[in-house]
Each structure stands twice: as structure tokens, then as C-alpha cells.
Amino acid sequence: QVELVEFGGGLVQAGGSLRLSCAASRRTFSSYDMAWFRQSPGKEREFVAGISWRGESTSYAEYVKGRFTISRDNAKSTVYLQMNSLKPEDTAVYYCAASSRGLSFHVSDYAYWGQGTQVTVSS
């Protein structure tokens, strides 16, 4: 069992930046591939970015590529999402998730989820 807690959401103007953090409860955090997903009202949860367990591989959705950066610090059992040049369409609840099945775009491959943190981007 891995418990995940997200921090750092909030309200920001378009063009601004936010940094999300996700802290994990287990020392075995370093053995999990991690990802950020987001969900807007009326939409399905969608992949944003992912990072392999050692941090050597990352993957981004097209709609955030070049603006968002995922990173992790295994010593602190924490994964981060730096979000720059935010747009109103980035408004969503952002979730971090852990997978032992490899880096994946699919919600179903992630067994552990945080409670989510709201990000709101005003125009």
C-alpha cells in the first residue's frame, strides 16, 4: 500500500506558474513509476506526465510538452510537477499516481492515487 498526498494547487493567472508536489508514505517509493493525471468537470481523467522509478525516463502529453516538467527525489519520496505558461484549459484537479507495471499513459495501470489538488487558471 502506498499513500500519496498532493500539495501546491491553487489559483493563478494565465501565463503564471505553479509547482505541485506529491509525497509518498513508503520507503519503497523509489521502486514505483510515477505520473500526474488531471480531470476537469465532465471529462475523463487524462495523463499529463510520467517518470520512471529511477528518473531516467519521462513522458509528457502533447498539450503540456514544453510547459510542464516532472521530476522526482527518491530520497524524499516525492514527485514534482513544475507547470509554467499556464493556460485556462489547464484548470483541473491534478492527481499523482504510482504504478508497479511500468510507465504508462493508462489510468488502469496505476494502483495508487492521491486525493487530488485543484489548479485553477484564470484568463
Residue 116: half-sphere exposure toward Cβ, Cα within 13 Å: 12
- Where residue 37 falls among pLDDT bands split at 50, 70, 90? very high
- Where residue 65 falls among pLDDT bands split at 50, 70, 90? very high
Asked whether 82 and 19 are in contact (CB, 8 A), the reply is yes
For 27-36, what is the mean pLDDT? 88
For 35-62, what is the mean pLDDT? 96
- The DSSP 8-state label assigned to residue 43 in this structure reads S
pLDDT at 27 over 90: no
For 73-99, what is the mean pLDDT? 97
pLDDT in tens, 88-117: 999 999 999 999 888 999 999 999 999 999
